[in-house]
Amino acid sequence: MAMELQLDSMAASIGVSVAVLRFLLCFVATIPFSFFWRFVPGRLPKHFYSAAVGVFLSYLSFGFSSNLHFLVPMFLGYASMVVYRPRCGILTFFFGFGYLIACHVYYMSGDAWKEGGIDATGALMVLTLKVISCSINYNDGMLKEEGLRDAQKKNRLVELPSIVEYIGFCLCCGSHFAGPVFEMKDYLDWTEGKGIWNFGAKGPKAPSPYGATIRALLQAGFCMGLYLNLVPYFPLSKFTDPSYHEWGFWKKLGYQYMSGQTARWKYYFIWSISEASIIISGLGFSGWIDSSPPKPRWDRAKNVDILGVELAKSAVVIPAVWNIQVSTWLRHYVYERLVQSGKKPGFLQLLGTQTVSAIWHGLYPGYIIFFVQSALMIAGSRVIYRWQQAVPPTIKNVLVFSNFAYTILVLSYSCVGFMVLSLHETLASYGSVYFIGTVVPIVIILLGKVIKPGKPSRSKPRKEE
């Protein structure tokens, strides 16, 4: 009882519900638990530790039923690998997404998150991607390496993981709550001290994770502080306030930008905590920088590049700097696999990938509209990029700035749907600025059909494409 009263007072002091506070405490607790993983002796005990801590923290955060929900996609994924390996990937994909959608609908998770609540569906979203990737990689293990993409060759599983390895991978506490998503192959190498984690007597010593962990924690503190200071000034409720619709066009557009930016700092905080947790465990290590002396890289757990998002010169780079690991998952397991052999990807593959991302978040109209908008935004940005590559430097600088301004405009506009969720509120907020963020990309895409650039003025690798 005293504990509950203490949680009530703490929650009230920072302006969140008790459920959210309990989640945050368990979420931050993944950092010390991940640290202690380093001292667990032996391979099997490490798997048991990963699973046990994931179950324990989930129980404290969401209650007993959450762990029952997690068992369903885990069982479906493992059973498909055991029973029907040639199609286990596609079976797990549809079974996993089917159950996730059912949970989204049952718990109305989007409404809960919008109102400041919390439930287990966020963790279930991460788990769903893990079980799907594991099954697809086991499916790829049957195929010959010739013809496979580099990512498929790297992550394919020739042998079926044991049930202990599988559960440890699924519930690994450092990534269980909010990601990042990582591969079963990397998890096994990390646990067994293989690959880049093979720090032997003759090889390099294990790098210290403490500096990178402190950096991630400082970033998390800054992001949370900024979010708590901004959110009272830019509440989502303003979009349904009659006074909002009395504002002028530019003031509405400015409010959309600030409300979207405010919401992003919350995600920056969450992903910074996850990054710290994965780094301190050692799993965040991703190799050595070629320098003298060599320096460790800790970007395996990196889920966001804050400056990359806020200063993006093109909408094309947004998936590479926002929710990075999920974007990587979508590229490897959806986008690339929708492309037919011998053909180049196009708008349909992009739209299909964004639709899967929308469904993964939930069946709210705002999510669907946002990700369709994202496909339009990226397609329009690609047109501007092609133009800027084919003009003299003086004009190119103008187009570079235009692409930057275009990205800010359309992203700020599109984000409103992701935040308000309902069809009525999304269309009302879009309509309040004359659907400018939808009209501009469509006009640019159509112009791209008419104004086709010639050869680039200078030959450059097209990283953004």
Residue 6 pLDDT: 67
pLDDT given at position 278: 94
Reading the block at residue 39, the tokens are: 């001292």
The answer to whether 386 and 439 are in contact (CB under 8 A) is: no
For residue 68, the model assigns a pLDDT of 87
Q: Which of 404, 412, 411 has its CA nearest to residue 311?
A: 404
What is the value of pTM for the model shown? 0.90
Q: 3-state SS of 285-302?
A: CCCEECCCCCEECCCCCC
pLDDT in tens, the chain (465 residues): 555 556 666 666 666 677 778 888 899 999 999 999 999 998 999 999 999 999 999 998 888 877 888 999 999 999 999 999 999 999 999 999 999 999 888 887 666 666 666 778 889 999 999 999 999 999 999 998 888 888 999 999 999 999 999 999 999 877 888 888 999 999 999 999 898 998 875 567 889 999 999 999 999 999 999 998 999 999 988 998 999 999 999 999 999 999 999 999 999 999 999 999 999 999 999 988 887 778 899 998 899 999 999 999 999 999 899 999 999 999 999 999 988 777 787 888 888 998 999 999 988 899 999 999 999 999 999 999 999 988 888 888 999 999 999 999 999 999 999 999 899 999 999 999 999 999 999 999 999 988 877 665 554 444 443
**How far apart are the C-alpha atoms of 26 and 37, rounded to whole Å?**
16
d(CA 307, CA 334): 27
Strands 295-296 and 288-289: antiparallel
Whether 424 is catalytic: no
Cβ neighbors of 195 (< 8 A, separation 6 or more) are: 186, 189
- Which position among 69, 104, 332, 361 bears the catalytic label? 361
CA distance 262 to 415: 11
Cα 213 to Cα 301: distance, rounded to the nearest angstrom: 11
Residue 25 half-sphere exposure, CB side, CA atoms within 13 Å? 15
